[in-house]
A and B are shown apart, each in its own frame.
Chain A
Amino acid sequence: MKIHIKNGHLIDPKNNIDSKLDVYIAAGKILALGNTPEGFVANQTIDATGQIICPGLVDLSARLREPGDEYKATLISELQAAVAGGVTSLACPPDTDPVLDEPGLVEMLKHRAKQLNLAHVYPLGALTRQLQGKVLSEMGELREAGCVGFSQANIAITDTQVLWRAMEYAATFGFTLFLHAEEPFLAKDGVAHDGEIASRLGLKGIPSAAEALALASILRIAKETGARIHISRLSTAEGVAMIRDAKKQGLKITADVSANQLHLTEHDIAYFDANCHLKPPLRTQRDKDSLSAGLKDGTIDAICSDHTPVDDDAKLAPFAEAEVGATGLELLLALTLKWATQEKVSLLHALSLISPASAQILGIPAGDLSPNSIADICIFDINEYWKVAPSALKSQGKNSPFNGLELAGKVKTTLVHGQVVYQS
């Protein structure tokens, strides 16, 4: 299959390309950029006039809900959502049912995803068995089965000795740990940022100190063990400052922020909007500003969607009882573009935060449009506005704090491995 994408504006942040270039694809790979290679006859031509061609997006955190929670979402529904959002590779956390702590489960998930021929799925294995924070999982076996890193999802390891050993073991083999920094005792039963809004609404708060305390332990042990750590979904100004310091000290650390945190604060909870019940909680304007500054200066490496599809019934409850999470795969691009516009960040820089930077953290071949790379491509119209409407989302999770909002940036075509897998 040979594809010619013509008349588009190519942005490839990894190779610092930002110009009008045609793309030629053959056998699932990028064959050439710019001039037609000799003897190239396309089977399919995609006219990208007025559109932007960029490497397919790479999402660091997308829950697919399989195995176990198929009533919330299925592999097929969420991978269709992924490609509709221009996401061609994604990492999924291990908090499925059963949890991803068995090589067989990982192999099956990879196999089922591959058969669907949509986005690439890169599972994060459970760092400890059953995510219980007691016994290390078989990281080596899980790696062979296809895990690109190890994670505790939202469940903290409370025993620092186990955390230490987990980092030592992972560091031995060069595995990356994906950790969410939240001290579980301080965060216990919390559902919102511990501040003005939670106090007014009578919601149990999660103090910013919960993130700082957990980060302090993680960073200190990382320093000792030399482990490579990725902090998932940073939420506080203090957390950003701590990561900045750690990077200065030369720790092998990276971090991401969820697109939700870049646009929302505790105030968006308004009159108990359950769609704003998220983990980490929406924090203050000051935190939001610091996260944004951290992204701009490179302290934070990437933006993730934190895609967490929840079935409608699970959100139909008073705020604290409504299940945590929001759909995100189809919003990642538009929310990143919105942030870039507001913060006057170049398109090249913005796209790097949701593609090559994430690919590098995961250590996967993606986020690159140079010749011979895998042809995972997102083509979008930056000027086309669309309204976030639950019924129009491919994801089975229809809950989003952004429902009803008009966003610029519509994905027109997505290619995975040189094949068109989505067209709007």
Chain B
Amino acid sequence: MNNPQLDADGRLRHLLSIEGLPKKILNQILDTAESFVGVAEREVKKVPLLRGKTVCNLFFENSTRTRTTFEIAAKRLSADVISLNVNTSSQSKGETILDTVDNLIAMHADMFVVRHSQSGAAHFIARHVPNHIHVINAGDGRHSHPTQGLLDVFTVRKYKPDLHNLRVAIVGDVLHSRVARSEIHALTTLGVPEVRVIAPKTLLPAQVEKLGVHVFHDMKAGLKDVDVVMMLRLQNERMNGAMLPSAQEYFKTYGLTQEKLSLAKPDAIVLHPGPMNRGVEIDSSVADGVQSVILPQVTYGIAVRMAVMAMLSGGS
């Protein structure tokens, strides 16, 4: 089977996951994003790259933040944007994913931004759309959230340009996290020499070390001398059950406090994909502290999503 993300000439056709993308393309996306960062600071926050194109946000799973940033990104590129929350409309009437997609293609959508609760949903849609239509995965189950992974490494690169000399720790629910998988692939592909994951065994997938990470169960050992701390969100439904006894105990062992952060390098930065559970995975003093780059992540997220859309439509 061919890599579904690249066309015959090795150009980006869909963005479905970071895995499978060459370093060259990742760098190209990040460099393109760099040129879009300034757009938001202009008086007219728009470039005409996607004028006349229709971008369709197809969200089978609820999301406000990601959908909004994709909307803003598309609008800054001058595209027409439609956002659909499909789980509240057609799907409840029994319409299949492909029926929904086919209908939007019939309305001449050019690009789909897809979020779905099932791993592989974006691949599935990409396999069924005609050649001229592009698919961006905005999160599929536990599998991948490539624009989040990209904006995270973009942020890291902004603060720590020498990726080849970094030690990065990803902390929290790796098992259920598409963000973690995307971050791991992005970091390892771009040459970060040491990526660590820190979590209890219940929140790590089987053979996680095969993704190219070092596994730590002890937060203090894992944070020692790292340059970057990437926190993961802990979903509410995981907190009381067989995965974890309670949010309190989780915060005590794996919540990021100033005290634990002090074990990292003094100039270490802290990332979080949002939305945050303050007092569960991260303490407010860290989230709002000087080492936090959580809000810049959001800003850069728009530039990265603009870059991906521009590259897919051939306008970079």
Contact = CB atoms under 8 A, between A and B. Distances in A.
Interface of A: 194-196, 198-203, 205, 207, 270-274, 313, 316-321
Interface of B: 1, 4, 19, 96-98, 116, 118-121, 123-124, 140-144, 178, 181, 205-208, 210-211
A273 B127 CA distance: 11
Contacts of B4: 271
B181 A202 contact: yes
A320 B141 CA distance: 10
B3 to A, nearest CB: 8
B207 A201 contact: no
Contacts of B207: 195-196, 199
A270 B4 CA distance: 11
11 contacts: A198-B205, A202-B178, A272-B120, A313-B96, A316-B96, A316-B98, A317-B96, A318-B140, A319-B119, A319-B120, A320-B119
In the A-B complex, the 10 residue pairs with the closest CB atoms: A202-B142, A202-B143, A272-B120, A199-B205, A318-B118, A202-B119, A318-B121, A319-B120, A196-B210, A318-B120
A273 to B, nearest CB: 7
Given A196-B207, A271-B1, A202 B124 contact: no
A207 B206 contact: yes
Contacts of A319: 118-120, 124
B119 A272 contact: yes
Contacts of B211: 199-200
Contacts of A195: 206-207
B120 A320 contact: yes
Contacts of A317: 96-97, 118, 124
A272 B206 contact: no
Contact of B124 (A196, A201, A272, A313): A272
B96 A318 contact: no
Contacts of A316: 96, 98
Contacts of A207: 206
A200 B123 CA distance: 14
A199 B120 contact: no
A226 B220 CA distance: 55
Contacts of B206: 194-196, 198-199, 205, 207
Contacts of B19: 200
B144 A202 contact: yes
Contacts of A203: 119-120, 141-143
Contacts of A200: 19, 181, 210-211
A271 B205 contact: no
B97 A273 contact: no
Interface centre among A196, A272, A313, A321 (most CB of B within 10 A): A272
Nearest to B207: A196
Given A195-B207, A202-B144, A318-B140, 6 more contacts: A201-B143, A202-B119, A316-B96, A319-B124, A320-B119, A320-B120
Contacts of A201: 119-120, 143
Given A202-B178, A313-B96, A273 B119 contact: no
Contacts of A271: 1, 4, 120, 123
Contacts of A321: 118
A202 B181 CA distance: 8
Contacts of B123: 271-272, 318
A226 B4 CA distance: 53
Given A196-B207, A272-B119, A202 B140 contact: yes
A205 B144 CA distance: 17
Nearest to B124: A318
A198 B116 CA distance: 18
Contacts of B178: 202
Contacts of A272: 119-120, 123-124
B119 A318 contact: yes
Contacts of A196: 206-207, 210
Contacts of A194: 206
A384 B186 CA distance: 48
B14 to A, nearest CB: 11
Nearest to B119: A202
A273 B96 contact: no
Contacts of B205: 198-199, 205
Contact of B208 (A199, A270, A320): A199
Contacts of A202: 119, 140-144, 178, 181
B195 to A, nearest CB: 15
A320 B181 contact: no
A321 B208 CA distance: 24
Interface centre among B116, B119, B121, B207 (most CB of A within 10 A): B119
B314 to A, nearest CB: 24
Interface centre among B118, B121, B210, B211 (most CB of A within 10 A): B118
